Structure 1
Amino acid sequence: MSLNEHLQEEIFERKRAEKKLVATKTYVESILANSLDLIITIKKDGNIVYTNRHLDYETGYKREDVQGKYIMELIPEHLKEFMLKKLKDLNEGISGIYETQIIKADGTPMDCLISQAPVEGFDEFIIAIKNITERKKMETELLKAQKLESVGILAGGIAHDFNNLLTAIFGNISLAKMYMMEREVYNHLVEIEKASLRAKNMTQQLLTFSKGGAQVKKITSLDELIRDSANFALRGSKVNCDIFISPELWHAEVDEGQISQVINNLIINAQQAMPDGGTIQVQADNVTLGSDNVLALKAGDYIKISVKDHGIGISEENIQKIFDPYFTTKPDGSGFGLSTAYSIVKGHDGHIKVESKPDIGTTLYIYIAASPKRFQLKQKDPAFIKGRGNILVMDDEEMVRFVTGKMLYQLGYEVEFVKNGDEAIKVYKQSKKTGKSFDAVIMDLTVPGGMGGKETINKLLKFDPGIKAVVASGYSNDPVMADYKKYGFSGVVCKPFTLSELGQILHKLFESKAD
């Protein structure tokens, strides 16, 4: 081969190598450009050499803005020492994967998962950055949910124990009122009873928070519920409340505790929007919606409740988020109040919406379906109904057994007591053999460390299908309490109960038995 031919061959090989190098470069750049992660390369001193096109999308920076910049300028102050150590690791040939943050162009932090490694044959390092901000938010929200679940379980347990205490208080007040002839002392007992009733409502809110199960719905006067809830929420506050209730406001079939919590949460939200004081306007009206209503509710009659404040208002940016769990603009807020209200209203097949203007105020609207039984008024102080019969009371709390027994004696019944399901089954079977059987059994739903009402009634029904049993519990949100007949019970009573409530329940039980 001549020298000329040899040179031509070398030139050809060099051009082919250059073409291959360009193709390889294009291939690598195509991979980097289309990577779902942000890819950068840096020199040993930490200055940025290259970034792929995801830089703008992920961080808002332009490529020309960061090329040649010291990478530590993108790192939050509290993480710089950590990242300097990672840069030192790279210079020592140590690869690694870790989590950190970078500062975006708008100044906000971005959570990142970083994979770093030296580039073989070059004095540069490659860093792959995956945006994990959403994942970190989900992890935080999951942690919050787990904490809330733990608090909810604790709240349910506290409410149950507190309702047992209130049962003793209510019962003894009911009995004391019967023997009190002096009017002034009697009035003091009435005030104690009212205070105990407010405590009962508070435990109901604890049970609602604990997500204790199915709703316990009944026909309710929303007029009274709205006034009580609003006044209770603002007690001790410098915010006033004007309440406008439509005459003959329709009744609704609702879970009183849950709807009370909704009103309470909306009032507190309005109060917090007016830190310098002011007036909240609460209004309730009867409305009828057609099938073409924009609320996507079924056509029919509804009660429309509005809670209006004259506070700071809600920005357009945030108004779509106020019902999201954990969303809050308050430094000490949990972001739980309005999301709970939204969940409860939706659970009642209702609707909740918001209207707001910054610096003018906010109005929250609730729509609750009206009940056709709208005019069944509730007696304020029903008289207790006496009766006759033999009652077995099952409850693990001695004070509850004692006061329930006293109340039943006063109502004209004979009573025996047991602590748990095993004792109840044994005593009930013995009573059948001796011929002095029980006319009814009142059973506590939950017996810590023993057989509760749900399991006990299943066993007693096999022995006596005609048994009349009333389930009692401080867990008023339990599914058994909401649908007691499904579980074999003939009646239900929520702790705490009064003398008149107990008398009415037993009267109704024996009335149905006679039928």
Structure 2
Amino acid sequence: MISRNRNHHGSSRNREFIYLIIWGFALVISSFVFLYLGYRIDQTYNTEPFLMIGFFLLAVAICIGKFYQIVWRKWADQELRESEQRLYSILQGSPIATFVLGKDHRVIYWNRAIEVLSKIKAEDVIKTTDHWKAFYNTQRPCMADLLVDETLDAIPQWYSGLCTKSKLIDEAYEGIDFFPVLGEKGKWLRFTAAVIRDSSGYLIGAVEALEDITEQKQAEEELIKIKKLESLGILAGGIANDFGSLLSAILHNIFLAKISVADEDNILEQGLEIAEKASLQAKELTNRLITFSKGGNPIWKSTPLVPLLQETAATTINDTNISCQFDLPDDLWNVDIDDSHIRQVIRNLLINAREAMPNGGIVHIRAKNIVVSSGDSLPLREGKYVKWSVEDHGVGIPMEHLEKLFEPYFTTKQKSDSTGIGLGLAMCYAIIKKHDGFITVQSEPQVGTIVDVYLPEAKTNSYSENNKTDVSAVGREKILVMDHDAVMRNAAEIMLHFLGYDCDFARNPENALRYYRTALEANRPYTAVILDSTTPEGVENILQSLRQINPHVKAIIAGEDIHHHPLLAEFRSQGFSGGVIRPYTIDDLKAALNPQP
């Protein structure tokens, strides 16, 4: 139809011109033949005997012209049909959704791609003006409508800031917009519309093409989110480290004050206990900031997810008005995870679900095996994954808040002593990302929220810990402490004396190795050595040097975060007997020196 409209007038004029030439040529030839024959026969212009011959020849010429006209028309019509079929095949076979409007705004073409995109069949929309129903809930013009009406001034009214004039084609406009009516969650489309003119330059319609860029848009948003979280993580990590050093001094002086206060001074003792509790909470916040900043260094092991989900749910919702319903298949694949990290994620999600249902309710925990392919709209590598979900039926989350959920310190909850500070989901995101997984949230106000988590299938055998090595304190045994921080050395001295140990201190590895060798040669070996993990020489190198002196050395590693430092995370497999997180308390130090069998 487009080809016919564009070429009809020009092709008709061409055919008529050709027919006129043929007929005129036939008439001229017939006349010349007529006159020539008459002259040759009797050398006069008495042409009556040959009049019939002339008319006969003219009739033959006209018949030939008419025959040629019929053949020409059939050939031209066939060419036109083939041209239209080629255009139709191109539009129908295009993977880009395309529709064409006529001058009257009625749909002329509606290809297969737009049928799939809009779920509207061509036969239901061809020759109608209902094309807007594919993209909007209420009637309004599409870009093609505005171009057909040549009302370009109205474009900003309907597409303000969303489209621009094409740099490649005149009378074409392009843009990007979100269409919430498409699909279950809406789709991002890149649309381009251009006018259609015939050979005389008259506008006869418009074509509009739409490309689904939802996955590309999601990937861009995910990349922006990652970059934003990385930037915030660097800042958070730096603050946490500095804050941790300040907490060390506070905690150790509180401890010193506690062991110095008189037994009868209950008020001072209670005040110190409150201060210590607040400092320990600050220490936990510091560890969370460090986990958020780097996502931790997971101790990956092949783990069945079902018991982890059930056990964590049981401890988290215990003594609450919330109950859990599980849909967990028996054939669920194992996953390669750090169970302490994933346990923290499960706990945070269940706490959020519990707080979303203050009047109680049911939390659904589901899991299933899935295979992610390139056609799935997920920012994951192709392969096998376990998808598990936590669903509540609480207050829900507004649409405008969903994109900010994983930002640190963003929360939809009312601030109170019982709620967190908005690090929970940010930590969950960092942890799942570190596990090469993905976490996403779907929510509707007053309906509920579903959090989906994807974790890769396990590719390693089940993990088994090395045998534990006990370190026992007997009598006035001696501990060697190597730490560059004077505050930590002073605090360690107070705690070790309180626990009944003597201690020596070294500020650097050279002194530590010399002290250890001297004590061993004097037959007064150290019971254990506490090593600062932040030493520039590398704590693993110091441990190797100590082993050269004594293969059975008892070494304890002290670092900022057990999940941030790889050696802290796997201290036993690296040959250490224990590990403590700085700033450590007296109970932490006691547990490291006297591990439970």
Q: Is the pair's TM-score, using the shorter chain for normalization, greater than 0.5? A: yes
Does the 8 Å contact 2:556/2:578 carry over to 1? Answer: yes
Aligned ranges 1:36-55 → 2 under 5 Å = 36-40=95-99, 50-53=108-111, 54-55=113-114
1:183 to 265, 276, 282: 265
Tell me the alpha carbon deviations over residues 92-130 of structure 1, each in whole angstroms, 9 at most, x when there is no partner: 7xx89x652275767967331649798895746755431
1:199 to 257, 282, 285: 282
Partner in structure 1 of residue 68 of structure 2: 9
2:557 to 452, 460, 471: 471
Aligned-pair CA distance for 1:313: 6.6
Give the TM-score normalised by the residue count of structure 1: 0.62
**2:250 pairs with 1:169:** yes
Gaps of 5+ in 1: 231-240, 245-253, 284-292, 298-306, 348-355, 365-383
For 2:88, give the aligned amino acid: E
The farther-off stretch of 136-145 and 499-508 is 499-508
Aligned ranges 1:243-392 → 2 under 5 Å = 259=343, 262-271=346-355, 273=356, 279=359, 311-312=394-395, 337=425, 340=428, 387-392=475-480
Aligned-pair CA distance for 1:135: 1.6
Structure 1 pair 406/223, CA: closer, same or farther in 2 (3 Å)?
A: farther
Does the 8 Å contact 2:529/2:555 carry over to 1? Answer: yes
Tell me the alpha carbon deviations over residues 222-248 of structure 1, each in whole angstroms, 9 at most, x when there is no partner: 899759x99xxxxxxxxxx7699xxxx
Gaps of 5+ in 2: 1-25, 27-59, 132-141, 302-310, 324-337, 370-389, 414-421, 436-442, 452-471
For residues 348 and 314 of structure 2, the distance between their equivalents in structure 1, rounded to whole angstroms, comes to: 13
For 1:112, give the aligned amino acid: R
For residues 72 and 393 of structure 2, the distance between their equivalents in structure 1, rounded to whole angstroms, comes to: 81
Structure 1 pair 19/101, CA: closer, same or farther in 2 (3 Å)?
A: same
For residues 416 and 263 of structure 1, the distance between their equivalents in structure 2, rounded to whole angstroms, comes to: 40
For 1:85, give the aligned amino acid: K
Aligned-pair CA distance for 1:154: 4.2
Tell me the alpha carbon deviations over residues 127-175 of structure 1, each in whole angstroms, 9 at most, x when there is no partner: 5431212320221123213323443454445444444433333333333
Aligned-pair CA distance for 1:490: 1.7
For residues 165 and 279 of structure 2, the distance between their equivalents in structure 1, rounded to whole angstroms, comes to: 62
Aligned-pair CA distance for 1:25: 1.2
Aligned-pair CA distance for 1:12: 1.7
2:85 to 23, 26, 33: 26
Does the 8 Å contact 1:266/1:338 carry over to 2? Answer: no
SS in 2 for 1:197: helix
For 1:444, give the aligned amino acid: D
For residues 156 and 428 of structure 1, the distance between their equivalents in structure 2, rounded to whole angstroms, comes to: 34
SS in 2 for 1:69: helix
2:176 to 95, 100, 106: 100
Aligned-pair CA distance for 1:470: 0.5
For residues 82 and 337 of structure 1, the distance between their equivalents in structure 2, rounded to whole angstroms, comes to: 32
Aligned-pair CA distance for 1:399: 1.7
**2:503 pairs with 1:414:** yes
SS in 2 for 1:451: coil
Structure 1 pair 82/137, CA: closer, same or farther in 2 (3 Å)?
A: closer
SS in 1 for 2:481: strand
2:297 to 207, 213, 218: 213
For residues 180 and 259 of structure 1, the distance between their equivalents in structure 2, rounded to whole angstroms, comes to: 39
For 1:147, give the aligned amino acid: K
**2:163 pairs with 1:70:** no
Aligned ranges 1:388-403 → 2 under 5 Å = 388-403=476-491
CA RMSD of aligned residues (A): 5.6
For residues 182 and 258 of structure 2, the distance between their equivalents in structure 1, rounded to whole angstroms, comes to: 68
**2:560 pairs with 1:484:** no
Structure 1 pair 339/483, CA: closer, same or farther in 2 (3 Å)?
A: closer
1:110 to 180, 188, 197: 188
**2:542 pairs with 1:456:** yes
For residues 189 and 506 of structure 1, the distance between their equivalents in structure 2, rounded to whole angstroms, comes to: 25
For residues 335 and 117 of structure 1, the distance between their equivalents in structure 2, rounded to whole angstroms, comes to: 52
SS in 2 for 1:485: coil
For 2:559, give the aligned amino acid: S
Tell me the alpha carbon deviations over residues 234-270 of structure 1, each in whole angstroms, 9 at most, x when there is no partner: xxxxxxx7699xxxxxxxxx97787566445533444
Partner in structure 1 of residue 592 of structure 2: 505
Does the 8 Å contact 2:292/2:430 carry over to 1? Answer: no
Partner in structure 2 of residue 368 of structure 1: none
For residues 225 and 162 of structure 1, the distance between their equivalents in structure 2, rounded to whole angstroms, comes to: 31
Tell me the alpha carbon deviations over residues 159-201 of structure 1, each in whole angstroms, 9 at most, x when there is no partner: 4444443333333333332222233122322222222232233
For 2:251, give the aligned amino acid: F
Does the 8 Å contact 1:156/1:206 carry over to 2? Answer: yes
The farther-off stretch of 466-475 and 114-123 is 114-123
Partner in structure 1 of residue 306 of structure 2: none
Does the 8 Å contact 2:393/2:448 carry over to 1? Answer: yes
**2:582 pairs with 1:495:** yes
Does the 8 Å contact 1:74/1:103 carry over to 2? Answer: no
For residues 313 and 182 of structure 2, the distance between their equivalents in structure 1, rounded to whole angstroms, comes to: 50
For residues 243 and 59 of structure 1, the distance between their equivalents in structure 2, rounded to whole angstroms, comes to: 41
- Aligned residue pairs, count: 421
Tell me the alpha carbon deviations over residues 12-52 of structure 1, each in whole angstroms, 9 at most, x when there is no partner: 23312320221121022111112110234579x99787543
2:529 to 441, 464, 482: 441
Aligned-pair CA distance for 1:502: 1.8
Partner in structure 1 of residue 335 of structure 2: none
For 1:9, give the aligned amino acid: Y
For residues 515 and 446 of structure 2, the distance between their equivalents in structure 1, rounded to whole angstroms, comes to: 68
For residues 200 and 282 of structure 1, the distance between their equivalents in structure 2, rounded to whole angstroms, comes to: 33
Does the 8 Å contact 2:534/2:559 carry over to 1? Answer: yes
For residues 192 and 451 of structure 1, the distance between their equivalents in structure 2, rounded to whole angstroms, comes to: 36
Indicate the percent of aligned positions where both proteins have the same amino acid: 27
For residues 295 and 109 of structure 1, the distance between their equivalents in structure 2, rounded to whole angstroms, comes to: 27
With a CA cutoff of 8 Å and minimum separation of 6, indicate the structure with the bigger relative contact order: 1
Give the TM-score normalised by the residue count of structure 2: 0.54
SS in 1 for 2:75: helix
Structure 1 pair 31/255, CA: closer, same or farther in 2 (3 Å)?
A: closer
